[in-house]
Chains A and B, each alone.
Chain A
């Protein structure tokens, strides 16, 4: 099983700042099969990025993903108030599909 470790656990930033979230895999993720989701309290997750860097439909271009192998990054270029949430990475290159434990992005 591929274990995904996200860092930091909590990130405190202000609107307008740049956010950089990390996801590290315990072994190489095949074919950049890495996705990112956003979840707000009491809501279902929302797909942001798949294929490590492809934005899902309707996702603003301030969200970008990068990385390959074992190291992946989600970057939010300029934080908007609605971006404060929990973010999860997910690998889908091998079974079982696994998620990271999440990074909480909170308002500073």
Chain B
């Protein structure tokens, strides 16, 4: 059974940093692109970043480029999101999502999400 489990969400002050993790089980992690998608409280979905299976290709939304960094450790089946210079508007539930085997740019499995709150 495919499972994605995010962790690392917390309350952090503006300008602070945080690292999120997403532990994957139940599939060959290295064979799938992975993404982060966030959802502000009561709002819609916002794509954050995408990373290829071999970490050779990375994409970011303009709103986080230069502040956030996505990486993965295929030996640990774990995806990461390093977040720096956090802003109030980064407050959201962050989901990791697996790229579909056929159409890698859509997300067929999602974690339960981890909440990041940026506030003073």
Interface positions of A (Cβ within 8 A of B): 1, 33, 35, 37, 39, 43-47, 50-51, 56-57, 88, 90, 92, 95-102
Contact = CB atoms under 8 A, between A and B. Distances in A.
A92 B110 contact: no
Given A44-B110, A51-B103, A98 B95 contact: no
B50 interface: yes
Contacts of B61: 96
A1 B74 CA distance: 31
A103 B25 CA distance: 32
A28 to B, nearest CB: 17
Nearest to B105: A92
Interface of B: 35, 37, 44-47, 50, 59, 61-62, 95, 100, 103, 105-108, 110-113
A50 B106 CA distance: 7
Nearest to A35: B106
A44 B62 contact: no
B106 A57 contact: no
A10 B44 CA distance: 14
A101 B29 CA distance: 30
A97 B47 contact: yes
A99 B95 CA distance: 14
Given A37-B45, A88-B44, A99-B45, 5 more contacts: A44-B112, A50-B106, A56-B108, A90-B106, A97-B105
Nearest to B110: A44
Given A50-B100, A95-B59, A96-B62, A88 B45 contact: yes
A47 B59 contact: no
Contacts of A47: 100, 106-108
Among B37, B45, B103, B108, the one with the most A-chain Cβ atoms within 10 Å of its Cβ is B45
Contacts of B46: 99
